[in-house]
Chains A and B, each alone.
Chain A
């Protein structure tokens, strides 16, 4: 692997390697000393030009548990707020000799662009509406850990698919690993060419619930409210939100996932979020192991030593 830009660049074998490696790294969190020396002397820069807490912290913990040095760089309080371009920021980091750049950017394709300017390994932590590959990988890890496999499972991705890089990445990852995917949501929140994704499409959540092993709920992006995508959060909750009643209609053993942060009472009710088959907090825990795995697999070998 040269970089981690998109889940679509990865074959099923690549994904399996990442997940197997993550499984070997996960138990570091259970030790008295939650740290191994593997990435000692490597520098990882978190370049977050769009707000994020959990992904940035998760990447930071992942790098630190592998003993890398971590620099956090956000738009606020940096030269970016003075108008520095991404290219100049990248060249500055290059000149400082960082080994990996974890980038979140509001523009789709920014991580790809970054690879043309720097020698460092680039990890996409979310770009625009395009991709969020580590989210998809941690979701696949969580599914595999809970259900034993991904192939042949029936997954439903529910909600604002249009604005969601998570939906795109998770859908592609699930399809690569051999799952069946149904996209469910208000027609106004489905992307125009969703029929080319290789997934089924439905506007009726209740019709797919009893045929779903993995129910993946997307965050309703409150900032889109009042933009005529749907009338109100109460109406959204009634038609596409998941509560105890809908949870009860899932087959035995099905799991509920959410990439966070949740809007309790909108896409998921409070009691559904805390139900036994909700794996939402496991997703967060597994995110660290999966990001450790990506850093470990990307930063080895000679090309990483400057």
Chain B
């Protein structure tokens, strides 16, 4: 297994994966008209913005041509009774979602519980025509019947490992690392 020093995905790998995913989203949905991209807090937000930018570039709609928002799923999580209250972030929808194709965007797909919460959150805002899921890394270990429609990289991992996604907007650089989970965690 790679150590913390060796990224599994480097900056140009991430850029290529996002570009491919932008094309796949367009191909599958036959254009960008009905798309709304929703980044799941926290690292899904810059990823959604980059995907929206990529789609806009391919379609020539200009920057901001693809609606993009942010989703905080804390209030919809299923572990409030165990973890206690967590800090809340902002949820911002770029407009109504009725009849739209909402693409949820997150950095790592793991148990699927976050995505379950995100789907409930979107449904409380309206009735989208479809909800799709785009993730940079699918690391396996699903606990719910959920799968991603667009995957940057499938990364088989064991449960005692953690996948760290660094993005330049938040962490200063783009890379994906796999490392052993710290004993305390």
Contacts and interface: CB of A to CB of B under 8 A. Distances in A.
Interface of A: 17, 20-21, 23-25, 27, 31-33, 35-39, 66, 296-297, 299-302, 304-305
Nearest to A37: B76
A20 B64 CA distance: 29
A32 B124 CA distance: 7
A296 B85 CA distance: 7
Interface stretch (B31-39, B46-54, B88-96, B103-111): B88-96
Given A32-B124, A37-B120, A38-B80, A300 B88 contact: no
A191 B125 CA distance: 50
A29 to B, nearest CB: 13
B81 A305 contact: yes
Given A37-B76, A38-B80, A305-B81, A24 B125 contact: no
Contacts of A38: 75-76, 80
A302 B81 contact: yes
B124 A35 contact: yes
Contact of B88 (A24, A32, A35, A66): A24
B99 interface: no
A24 B82 contact: no
Contacts of A37: 75-76, 120
B117 to A, nearest CB: 9
A137 to B, nearest CB: 16
Interface of B: 72, 74-76, 80-85, 87-91, 120, 124-126
Contacts of B85: 21, 296-297, 299-301
Given A32-B125, A301-B83, 18 more contacts: A20-B87, A21-B88, A24-B74, A24-B87, A27-B90, A32-B126, A33-B124, A33-B125, A36-B75, A37-B75, A37-B76, A38-B76, A39-B80, A296-B85, A297-B85, A300-B83, A301-B81, A302-B84
B127 to A, nearest CB: 10
* Most B-side CB within 10 Å, residue of A21, A299, A300, A302: A300
Contacts of A302: 81-82, 84
Nearest to A304: B81
A33 B120 CA distance: 12
Contacts of B74: 24
A302 B88 CA distance: 19
A38 B83 CA distance: 12
Given A38-B75, A38-B80, A304-B81, A31 B90 contact: no
23 contacts: A17-B87, A20-B87, A20-B88, A21-B85, A21-B87, A21-B88, A25-B75, A27-B90, A27-B91, A31-B124, A32-B125, A33-B124, A36-B75, A37-B120, A38-B80, A39-B80, A66-B75, A296-B85, A300-B83, A301-B81, A301-B82, A302-B84, A305-B81
